[in-house]
Chains A and B, each alone.
Chain A
Amino acid sequence: MTARVELVGVRKIFNEGQPNAFRAIDGVDLSLPAGGVTVLAGPSGSGKTTLLTLIGCLARPTEGRVRLDGRDISGLPEPFLAALRRQTFGFVFQRFNLIRGLTVLENVMLPAYPLGTPHRALTRRAGALLQRLGVGHRAGAPVESLSGGEAQRTAIARALINDPTVLIADEPTANLDTALSLAFLEIVSGLRAEGRTLLLSSHDPLVREASVVDRVAELRDGRLVADRDPLAESAQ
């Protein structure tokens, strides 16, 4: 169930070789503990989101290696990366990125289509996930009609539909009020208890200070400037 993610000398350069070349990530070494909650902190533009896309296999590093349980995944062909996105990493986007025109249930089922899971089993699983996240009653509703909190839960359900070992969330509380943010952290702690590895990017103090967080890594200008382990600190 748990997965270990390591980054070694990872760089990401946009518009490489052109005058407007831009080093979004500039040599990051990082290892995520299996089965813990890590927060990537830092000001906006520090490269948090880019680093998430590199770990979540949405993009490939220009240089360096990303390893999953010791296996180099940074040079894999596209279908393999897609399979990892599908089954190993669940991604919750800052703006949720639900597909308009489809219902909540259909949105949740989307990542399972390429697997060819039997339809009945899939519907049941998606329904159960929505139920567990407290949005079961909205299953048949079009996603346009959802509130911010409901949309996030739908996005989480979609990220979990293929039972990934790593869940990545980009600025998960940016669009939520305090009550909903706390409810989100509740969900996170439940997922952590299942042994999943969680990676959140956030500059929300509420998230960084949360008791469920095992580790905070701070990014600035594409480099890791601080790596704090609250558990280790409190142990000392």
Chain B
Amino acid sequence: MTELRRTLARQRYLLDYTVASMSRRRTRNLGLLLVYVGMVFLLASVLFYSSALKHEAGLLLAEAPDIVVQRMVAGRHALIPAQHAESLRGIRGVRVVEGRLWGYHYDPAVRANYTLLVPPADDVEPGTAVIGPALARARGAGIGDVLSFRGQDGTLHPFRIAAILPQESALASADLFLVAESDFRALFGIPEGQYTDIALQIPNPREERTVAEKVLEALPDSRPILRAEMLRTYDAVFDWRSALVLLPLSGALLAFAILAWEKASGLSADERREIGILKAVGWETGDILSMKFWEGGLLSLLAFLFGTAAAYWHVFGLSAPLLAPVMQGWSVLYPDFRLTPAIDATQLLALFCLTVLPYLAATLVPVWRAAVTDPDEVMR
């Protein structure tokens, strides 16, 4: 026990000495710390952002139907007739079958696509619309205002805004434009009895695959899409995107490692002398190594804390203005939506490996070289 106490006391002395020594060489350490924080900030932003997008996509898909059935004509997605829905009702395991109407409308005024959708209950009054918060902001529209779209036949279709969707689940609803079925059909010229696709609800997830196979049997021209498959695809795509953003950053990582190596090996004459003195008065190589690793550890800890905190604020506070154009990439309508914080320990662990390990590895050899300074060097 006394041995342990002695070891702890020794390490405490070394730590105290390191802190004092670092504050004596403040400017030098500050420069490195700044670059280090920047490095952690960049990587952490990418990681946090991609995981937040995955989280949002998960939320979005949570309300999606278990299976979506699309009709394929000549390999392209086409409108699906209502009779198709009838033939699906008989399949065992399917609880709800409904035709859905949705599509995109390009608004030249804000140069953005809206998602036009007929809500399943069709509870929007004809001539009115319920719109998403981002869209309302982009057009500067409030309740009672009128938005007009040019339809497929060239006529103007005015919509009075009846309500604006709440801010939560922003990504899912930001660009939504909910209209009545009759308006939708008139705007896009879709005849009665045709739908965009058909949604199926299947209470037992184990039956999804069998149901999908039966759908294909009943409707050879259809393509059933499972929600699980979409989830998997989104997951893979976001992982892939964040890794693709990180790959060019590995160049920055290398530059950072070189900088760390240089800072660690470029000991000033003063510092060399100090280490020589410490060795001469009885510090062993291990003590100097411990001291230097305390220094690296403290620097890494500070950089990690500041970097991740800044990245958290950047991603979840400011909605990642630096990354959004690269990673989001499906609509330009999201100036101000807030991401729900979603971070897990695995991400932090990966971040730690990506930033702290290169730093430690880069400084290992220079630190050793400093630590084995001969004690008689101070006499020469």
Contact = CB atoms under 8 A, between A and B. Distances in A.
Classify A-B as touching or not with yes or no (CB < 8 A).
yes
A91 B280 contact: yes
12 contacts: A79-B286, A82-B285, A85-B375, A91-B280, A94-B379, A99-B274, A99-B277, A102-B20, A116-B8, A116-B10, A116-B12, A117-B9
A170 interface: yes
Contacts of A117: 9
Contact of A116 (B6, B17, B277, B379): B6
A114 B283 contact: yes
Contacts of A170: 379
Contacts of A100: 270
Interface in B1-46: 5-10, 12-14, 17, 20, 24
A116 B7 contact: yes
Contacts of B276: 97
A94 B380 CA distance: 11
Contacts of B282: 82-83, 85-87, 111, 114, 162
A97 B277 contact: yes
B281 A83 contact: no
A83 B277 contact: no
Contacts of A185: none
Given A82-B282, A113-B283, A114-B287, A53 B379 contact: yes
Interface in A63-103: 78-79, 82-83, 85-87, 91, 93-94, 97-102
Interface in B247-305: 270, 273-274, 276-287
Contacts of A58: 280, 374-376, 379
B378 interface: yes
A205 interface: no
Nearest to A91: B280
Q: Taking each of B274, B278, B282, B283, which has the highest tally of chain A beta carbons within 10 Å of its own beta carbon?
A: B282
B5 A114 contact: no
- Interface of B, secondary structure class, is helix
A92 to B, nearest CB: 10
A113 B280 contact: no
Contacts, number: 87
A93 B6 contact: no
Interface string A47-59: 0010001000011
A82 B374 contact: no
B158 to A, nearest CB: 77
B372 to A, nearest CB: 8
Chain B interface size band reads 20 to 34
Given A82-B279, A83-B284, A110-B278, 19 more contacts: A53-B379, A58-B374, A82-B285, A82-B375, A83-B282, A85-B375, A86-B282, A87-B282, A97-B277, A97-B280, A99-B278, A111-B281, A113-B283, A114-B282, A115-B10, A116-B9, A116-B12, A116-B13, A117-B9
A113 B20 CA distance: 14
Interface of B: 5-10, 12-14, 17, 20, 24, 270, 273-274, 276-287, 374-376, 378-379
Chain A interface size band reads 20 to 34
A158 interface: yes
A59 B376 contact: yes
A118 interface: yes
Given A99-B274, A113-B13, A116-B8, A79 B284 contact: yes
Nearest 4 pairs of A and B residues by beta carbon: A86-B282, A116-B9, A82-B284, A116-B10
B93 to A, nearest CB: 71
A180 B36 CA distance: 51
Nearest to A84: B282
Nearest to B11: A116
Contacts of A83: 282, 284
Contacts of B279: 82
Contacts of A87: 282
A113 B376 contact: no
Contacts of A158: 281
B227 to A, nearest CB: 62
Nearest to A161: B281
Contacts of B376: 53, 58-59
A202 to B, nearest CB: 15
Nearest to A158: B281
B145 to A, nearest CB: 69
B300 to A, nearest CB: 23
A115 to B, nearest CB: 7
Q: Taking each of B10, B276, B278, B379, which has the highest tally of chain A beta carbons within 10 Å of its own beta carbon?
A: B379
Contact of A91 (B5, B281, B287): B281
A97 B277 CA distance: 7
A64 B375 CA distance: 20
Contacts of B8: 116
A79 to B, nearest CB: 5
Contacts of A97: 273, 276-277, 280, 378
Given A111-B281, A113-B283, A115-B6, A93 B378 contact: yes
A161 to B, nearest CB: 9
Contacts of B10: 113-116
A86 B284 CA distance: 9
A150 B352 CA distance: 49
B375 A86 contact: no
Nearest to A95: B378
Contacts of A59: 374-376
Nearest to B286: A79
Contact of A78 (B5, B24, B277, B285): B285
A59 B276 CA distance: 12
Contact of A82 (B9, B270, B283): B283
Interface in A110-153: 110-111, 113-119
